[in-house]
Amino acid sequence: MHPLSRRLAALVLLSALPLAPTPAQADTLEDVKARGVLRCAVNGTIPGLSFKDAQDHWSGIDVDFCRAVAAAVLGRADKVELVPTPSGSRFDALRQGKADLLARNTSWTLSRDLDPELTFVGVLHHDGQGFMVRRDTSTLSARELSKKPVCAAGISGPQNARTYFTRNRMELDLKEFPDTPTATKAYLAGTCYALTADLSQLYAMRAELAGEDAHRILPEMISKEPLAPVVRTGDGRWFDIVRWTLFTLINAEEAGIDSGNVDTARARAHADDIQLLLDVDGQTGKLLGLDRGWSYRIIDQVGNYAEVFERNLGAGSPLKIERGANALWRDGGVLYAPPVR
């Protein structure tokens, strides 16, 4: 037996030993299996991230991530109940058990990370706040927005704008609104010269606007918004499953395995790393409490990270967002996952 296989076998034996239960311990995996469907809290209103169209068809990178978890856990990517959840109640939906997973364009921040009931899994999409202006203006940079009215919504949007303008010794004329749709309406009505929001949202808005070419997204990204799925604290096995679903998407792209060649890769999986990546022998599945081939199902039914990004946000989508920071580490981005070994 290869040394790697022996180490994994030892871990499987250790994982089978009974552990003393704790009062806070939960078992989301068993709940999801018993229910037969994964309940996933999403936004539902942002194309590219999570969006339900007039034909009740769901799409978006958050939606595909939920589907990937369902494929791993339940065997089929369509065994998902997508729950549209307002921003103000998204964490309560998770805490109260109304959702098994939160995948709702949520930024991973210090205050949220320190919440004892929430655990961030990893960064699904590296986003950041930017600005949009009308193309018929001469503005090509956010540095040219001093003294010009800027529409912003929520809490972090205005805060990030103030920080950016102060840092660059610019005068900010800020118009604040309770939510992004209201801010967007004000911008389109001419109340503001520019609209500021997360870049993914700006691209989505521009794609939906009639005459989308009439708006320009400026090149500056003024904040870090690492959008990350969230699970409840206290359920280590569920955390591992969701986290390694994300890592599988990334590692599959790095290995050059996608939904179009995964069957060939599995049939020819002689190298230990590919066997483990596709869970050919069921070793990683045993560690996670999943059926053999859980990671193969993710790639087969949903794809790798590149496929998910391109069809929802990139060249294959109306948004046409470049990979940028969301490219693999070897391709100039920051996308990185621990190796499967």
C-alpha span between 265 and 258 (Å, rounded) = 9
Name the H helices within 19-176: 28-35, 61-74, 90-95, 110-113, 156-167
Q: Which helix (H) or strand (E) holds 12?
A: helix 3-16
Point out the least confidently predicted range of 7-11, 95-99, 210-214: 7-11
Cross-strand pairs, 164 = none
- Cα 15 from chain centroid (whole Å): 29
- Read off the DSSP letter of residue 334: -
CA proximity to 206, closest of 324, 55, 84, 48: 48
The dihedral over CA atoms of 133, 182, 205, 53, expressed in degrees to the nearest 10, equals: -170
- In this model, does residue 328 exceed pLDDT 70? yes
**Tens of pLDDT, residues 110-160:** 999 999 999 999 999 999 999 999 999 999 999 999 999 999 998 889 999
- 58 strand-pairing partners: 52
Where residue 109 falls among pLDDT bands split at 50, 70, 90?
very high
Q: Give me the count of residues in the chain.
A: 341
pLDDT at 11: 40
Using one digit for the tens of pLDDT, what is the confidence trace for 275-287?
999 999 999 999 9
Higher pLDDT, 15 or 246: 246
Query: Residues 6 or more apart from 125 whose CB is under 8 A from it?
Result: 49, 61, 105, 200, 226, 227, 309, 313, 326
- pTM of the entire predicted model: 0.89
Nearest CA to 61 among 296, 302, 337, 223? Answer: 302
Per-residue pLDDT of 167-195, as tens digits, reads 999 999 999 999 888 999 999 999 999 99
The candidate with the shortest Cα–Cα distance to 196, out of 210, 170, 176, 211, is: 176
Tens of pLDDT, residue by residue over 32-77, are 999 999 999 999 999 999 999 999 999 999 999 999 999 999 999 9
pLDDT value of position 268: 86
Q: Compute the distance between CA of residue 118 and CA of residue 46 in angstroms, rounded to an integer.
A: 23
